[in-house]
Structure 1
Amino acid sequence: MIRTPLRPLARILSARQAGQDPDEIEAELRARRHAEIQDRARRRAEGRIKWMALGFMLAFATVGLRMGAMASSQPSEPRVHASGAQIISQRADIVDRRGRVLATNLSTHALYAHPQDLVDPATAAAKLARIFPDLDAERLKRDLTGERKFVWIKKKLSPEQMQAVHDIGEPGLVFGPREMRLYPNGNLASHILGGSQFGAEGVSSAEVLGMAGVEKAFDGWLRDPANAGAPLQLSIDLTAQAAMEEVLANGMKVMNAKGATGILMEVASGEIVAMASLPDFDPNDRPKPLLKGDPSDSPLFNRAVQGQYELGSTFKIFPVAQAIDEGLINVNTMINASSPMKIGKYLIHDFHNYGRDLSVKDVIGKSSNVATVRIAQMLGPERQQRFLRDLGFFEPTPIEMTEAPTGKPIVPRRWPAVTAATVSFGHGLAASPLHLASAYATLANDGRRVRPTLVHRKEPLQGEQVLSPRAAGAARDLLRYVVTKGTARQAEVAGYQVGGKTGTADKPRPGGGYYKNRNVSTFAAMYPADKPVYVLVVTLDEPKVSVAGGGELRTAGATAAPVAAALVERLSPLLGLRPDDVKLPVIEPRPADAVRISAR
């Protein structure tokens, strides 16, 4: 350890010899050191003050230059920037595949009141009740004459209503600007769009949120400023959608059906061109959901996506196509169709007695339950389940709608021999019409899986191969035979080679068992059958057609098939699909025209 002496020893000794006091010498040195420290501190402080002064000078100079630039700029510049920010922050439009508007925004106003500023609250309440008949006049009067400082009156106003409120002349009635979601086509595509509602809201703005359909499924995208206001382009065609809803509504009326749904899908891409569910609603005035009873009684219920139906004989093509793919049968193989067929304690019947043997072609054409079960028995339950799973019948459809997860098929927990038998002809497994459309599109697409979508894409998504092109082609030929010679002859449309399958299923009772006089009738089709472009599925809920001499018809061949034919005939020209056997007439020139041409 090095010790530092308090006083320099040499100085002390020399000071004593000279007769000086060492303490005075030490005090002098201490004072000198303190003076040096103070000088250094003063110099540092002066340097800091100089730098701070320089910084303030630069800051004031910058502010001054910016103010000068703003003062000399044009007033329109900041308005342009503010307008751009507003456009980016608003909810994006929704358009169809051709860019036509399906959902957009409308500038409007909300109405609220400051009761303390009202001159005559009671009279104002009475006049407001006349302008807005849906308001409770007595409650409004209590709110405006009570102790409240703020009262919401209406969150959306029409221009006429706004003018009528202006005419009241009360200073305590205040308008707040906001945007509302507008669906200019009313009920058209209502289940697809879904609707919207206000979220967080204030007196001068309100947040618009999707509450169902694609509005909710794409809520984040529609509100994302990074999209710079670009619209969401759906795959549906507005013209085709309108035509489908019109034809379907007429068919529902003629067939006395409780409800109806129709789906038109592109085979190559899986894009849904039109999809309707009836009854429907106006998303501008979305009704409240049912709190009890059958959900399908509500117009909000989307039968195409949420409906879970046993789709009947439309399923028969699946075990037949799979058995052809496995090499177990071909279209000419003879199948035992003796009816009834007993499995355990259950008996399986055919609608008619078709005799002992049927070719596979006639099994589909005549729609034999017994023969279809025998083909399914060749496959076995495990292979049957695997193929149906590959077609998408064990999971919700990947459609871009918030309702899609609620449409998960009802699949049996156990798969004994009797379940395998009933599922082969469309009973015991309930799925949505959209599941059926996707599965038929896979058959039409040479066995490559097709997943439905509502988004218009430049490049279609390629699915996995679940069936050989050979077997898929044979299935298409069989479906064409059903329309030309089988149970779906009323679905034939000249020039379009429709191929499809009818399916009639009894509706299950809520407590178990089935109704005897309530059916779900379905027709699933593809066309043109030799090289399909579209898949069409039509489902009618509880149809019935009166026949001459009494009685009613409920089968799909008499109800869903003719409605599908009307849709093919109406939609195809709108989509540019010309009939293949209709030739344009050759117009021969008249003699006068010939003379005129030769004279030139």
Structure 2
Amino acid sequence: MIRRPLRPLARVLSARAEGKDPNLIEAEERAARLRALHRAERARAETRLLLLGIVFILGFTTVAGRMALMSAGTPVEPRAGAGGEPIVAQRADIVDRNGAILATNIVTASLYAQPLEMIDPARAATALSEIFPDLDAGALLHRFTDGRKFVWIKRTISPEQRQLVHDLGEPGLLFGPRETRLYPNGAVLAHVLGGASFGREGVHAAEVIGVAGVERFEDARLRDPARVAEPLRLSIDLPAQIAMEDVLAAGMKEMGAKGAVGILMEADTGQIRALASLPDFDPNLRPPLPTEGDPADSPLYNRAAQGRYELGSTFKIFAVAEALDMGKVTPRTLIDTSGPMRWGRFTIRDFHDYGPRLTVQDVIVQSSNIGAARIALTMGGEAQQKFLRRLGLMDALPLEISEVAKAPPLYPKRWSELTTMTVAYGHGLAVSPLHLATAYASVANGGLKITPTIIASDRKPTEADRVVSEDTSEKVRSMMRDVVTRGTARKADVPGYEVGGKTGTADKPMPHGGYARDKTIGTFAGVFPASDPRYVMVIALDEPSNKINGASLRTAGWTAAPVFANALRRIAPIMGLRPDARPEDDVDLLYTLAVNE
């Protein structure tokens, strides 16, 4: 910028020529320079004021807009931000095969305290102990007054309890939103579902995780955010399950048993329609795991999946099925049943003296231990082990219940000739009732090994899964039907349903060796209809005793078999099975085929 000169030469020379004072020219130029400077400063000030006004207008407009939005919205209590991953509580529902809810999530509340904000800790502790009887007022007061800033009181509370706490008016008692698992049917299906609990916990959320049963086995799938809206559909039929549990509870009480198991399985697919273990529990109020004593005495113990028992004469079916399939015997082959049968210092006896010989068919019908042992000896221990392994009786089952993997069958490391004989009639090899149901389905359905499942699916075995021939399966079913019509399981017969099966009574092993003579496991494994089985049902009672005319009867024919019949009468109509209207004295075709061979 070129500054204006105060004494311009041209004007000074002109003034001198005219006789004027040159100093006046300098004064005029100085005044002009000041006027120009003032105009520039004014322009800058006006610009600054304009910009400042614009800023104030924008600021007040923003504040006014924000206040308008807040006044139009719903008031929400501000929360302090928290670092780390958010806790996700969502979990997919579990439903039965027909879509009935078995497990779901509900929104509830948690209760905690901030002692430093409490007005009257003593009054609050006393009032809380009245609302929640399981809380101790003295312990609460100690926690409220020992300097803590945060105290958990209850992880979940009901709406009624929340209102009672709210009515106390104590500002230091606060609530947090919480999702929890709900089992709307209570104890029904307890051992299948298992239960859930909390993992990671915060004030405003908690992680729901499975702790047992299918909840634990399928935990990752149930917690998958991409599949939360997709329920896990089980193969269980809820009405059939309720009927099974009702019948088992009544039978357990009538027979004075300490425990009971009921399993209903589709013979051709392995899908389980009902699975019950008594005593049971409510998964909404799951009790703690036992820390001492026999785990089997806890209601948490799943006898169907975890219980490993020597299931007695139900195993004779497998010895005969193997011998028939190998061509070693036919149903009419005579077996030496003279006894007692001795092996070293051990003696094998029958429950009754059945005479010197029985046919293979009658070995099953009369349930001869000696006959089953001699049949097993004709095949040898190695062949027996291979056959039992093909049936799945020597390995843990691949079932979708977490406890199953922890209960593989128990058998001796050294498979002696004595083991071969005793396993043939159900001693020396301990398996779960689920193993037994699976093996019976595989033998009776035409000879195809099934894989048990509680997940609804369309999976069926193929010819590659064959364990025995169709002819063998047909002959075995004939024998099982004969057991019910004229053998040890007459009390399992239900007119119109053509029941076939086998009883099994096994003395319970004692903790320090040997067997108890007055404690047994009574089992009946049945199929129906025997000519073309659709279902397998296993009923087992732990230490049953049926008192008739003052006598205590412990055999499965008097204990498990009648409970089976009661269960079938209740369940068959639920499953849509109508009784066959044919007269009961019609000739059984399968039995005729077997006898004429």
Q: TM-score range by the shorter chain?
A: 0.7 to 0.9
How far is 1:398 from its partner? 0.9
How far is 1:75 from its partner? 9.2
Moved more, 194-203 or 219-228: 219-228
Q: Which residue of 1 aligns with 2:542?
A: 541
Q: Which residue of 2 aligns with 1:32?
A: none
How far is 1:89 from its partner? 6.5
How far is 1:547 from its partner? 2.0
- Identical aligned pairs, as a percentage? 56
Specify every segment of 5 or more residues in structure 2 that has no aligned partner in the other structure, as ranges.
Answer: 1-61, 75-85, 584-597
CA contact (8 A) 2:198 2:206 kept: yes
Q: Which residue of 1 aligns with 2:480?
A: 479
Q: Which residue of 2 aligns with 1:101?
A: 101
Moved more, 447-456 or 88-97: 88-97
How far is 1:136 from its partner? 1.4
Match of 2:209, SS? strand
In structure 2, how many angstroms separate the alpha carbons of the residues matched to 1:536 and 1:107? 39
In structure 2, how many angstroms separate the alpha carbons of the residues matched to 1:87 and 1:295? 34
In structure 1, how many angstroms separate the alpha carbons of the residues matched to 2:239 and 2:582? 23
How far is 1:199 from its partner? 0.6
> Would you say 1:434 and 2:434 are equivalent positions?
yes
Question: Is the alpha carbon distance of 1:363 and 1:106 closer, same or farther for their aligned partners in structure 2, counting shifts above 3 Å?
Answer: same
Runs of 4+ in 1 over 6 A off after TM superposition: 86-89
CA contact (8 A) 2:91 2:228 kept: no
CA contact (8 A) 2:244 2:567 kept: yes
Q: Which residue of 2 aligns with 1:569?
A: 569
How far is 1:88 from its partner? 9.4
CA contact (8 A) 2:89 2:206 kept: no
> Would you say 1:330 and 2:333 are equivalent positions?
no
Specify every segment of 5 or more residues in structure 1 that has no aligned partner in the other structure, as ranges.
Answer: 1-63, 77-85, 584-600
How far is 1:228 from its partner? 4.3
Q: Deviations over 1:292-314 (max 9, x none)?
A: 11111100000000001000000
Equivalent positions of 1:439-458 (< 5 A) are 439-458=439-458
What one-letter code is carried by the residue in structure 2 that aligns with 1:520?
Answer: I
What one-letter code is carried by the residue in structure 1 that aligns with 2:283?
Answer: P
Q: Which residue of 1 aligns with 2:50?
A: none
Equivalent positions of 1:366-377 (< 5 A) are 366-377=366-377
In structure 2, how many angstroms separate the alpha carbons of the residues matched to 1:103 and 1:547? 43
Q: Which residue of 2 aligns with 1:241?
A: 241
How far is 1:145 from its partner? 2.1
Q: Deviations over 1:531-565 (max 9, x none)?
A: 000000000000011121x3210000000000001
CA contact (8 A) 1:365 1:481 kept: yes
How far is 1:143 from its partner? 1.3
Q: Which residue of 1 aligns with 2:493?
A: 492
Moved more, 490-499 or 455-464: 455-464
Match of 1:275, SS? strand
Q: Which residue of 2 aligns with 1:517?
A: 518
What one-letter code is carried by the residue in structure 1 that aligns with 2:580?
Answer: D
CA contact (8 A) 2:398 2:451 kept: yes
How far is 1:392 from its partner? 0.6
In structure 1, how many angstroms separate the alpha carbons of the residues matched to 2:508 and 2:237? 33
How far is 1:581 from its partner? 1.7
Q: TM-score, with normalisation over the residues of structure 2?
A: 0.82
Match of 2:430, SS? coil
In structure 2, how many angstroms separate the alpha carbons of the residues matched to 1:356 and 1:268? 39
> Would you say 1:286 and 2:278 are equivalent positions?
no
Q: Which residue of 2 aligns with 1:172?
A: 172
In structure 2, how many angstroms separate the alpha carbons of the residues matched to 1:441 and 1:150? 57
In structure 1, how many angstroms separate the alpha carbons of the residues matched to 2:201 and 2:156? 12
Q: Which residue of 2 aligns with 1:359?
A: 359
What one-letter code is carried by the residue in structure 1 that aligns with 2:489?
Answer: A
In structure 2, how many angstroms separate the alpha carbons of the residues matched to 1:454 and 1:244? 16
> Would you say 1:309 and 2:320 are equivalent positions?
no
In structure 2, how many angstroms separate the alpha carbons of the residues matched to 1:303 and 1:468? 32
How far is 1:458 from its partner? 3.1
Question: Is the alpha carbon distance of 1:371 and 1:582 closer, same or farther for their aligned partners in structure 2, counting shifts above 3 Å?
Answer: closer
CA contact (8 A) 2:87 2:207 kept: no
Q: Which residue of 2 aligns with 1:379?
A: 379
Question: Is the alpha carbon distance of 1:228 and 1:254 closer, same or farther for their aligned partners in structure 2, counting shifts above 3 Å?
Answer: closer
Question: Is the alpha carbon distance of 1:501 and 1:153 closer, same or farther for their aligned partners in structure 2, counting shifts above 3 Å?
Answer: same
Q: Which residue of 1 aligns with 2:13?
A: none
Q: Which residue of 1 aligns with 2:503?
A: 502
In structure 1, how many angstroms separate the alpha carbons of the residues matched to 2:189 and 2:582? 32
How far is 1:144 from its partner? 1.3
What one-letter code is carried by the residue in structure 2 that aligns with 1:551?
Answer: A
> Would you say 1:224 and 2:224 are equivalent positions?
yes
In structure 1, how many angstroms separate the alpha carbons of the residues matched to 2:349 and 2:89? 63
CA contact (8 A) 1:87 1:229 kept: no
CA contact (8 A) 1:372 1:424 kept: yes
Question: Is the alpha carbon distance of 1:133 and 1:555 closer, same or farther for their aligned partners in structure 2, counting shifts above 3 Å?
Answer: same
What one-letter code is carried by the residue in structure 1 that aligns with 2:525?
Answer: A
For the aligned residues, what is the CA RMSD? Answer: 2.0
CA contact (8 A) 1:97 1:235 kept: yes
Match of 2:187, SS? coil
How far is 1:461 from its partner? 4.8
Q: Which residue of 2 aligns with 1:581?
A: 581
Question: Is the alpha carbon distance of 1:497 and 1:378 closer, same or farther for their aligned partners in structure 2, counting shifts above 3 Å?
Answer: same
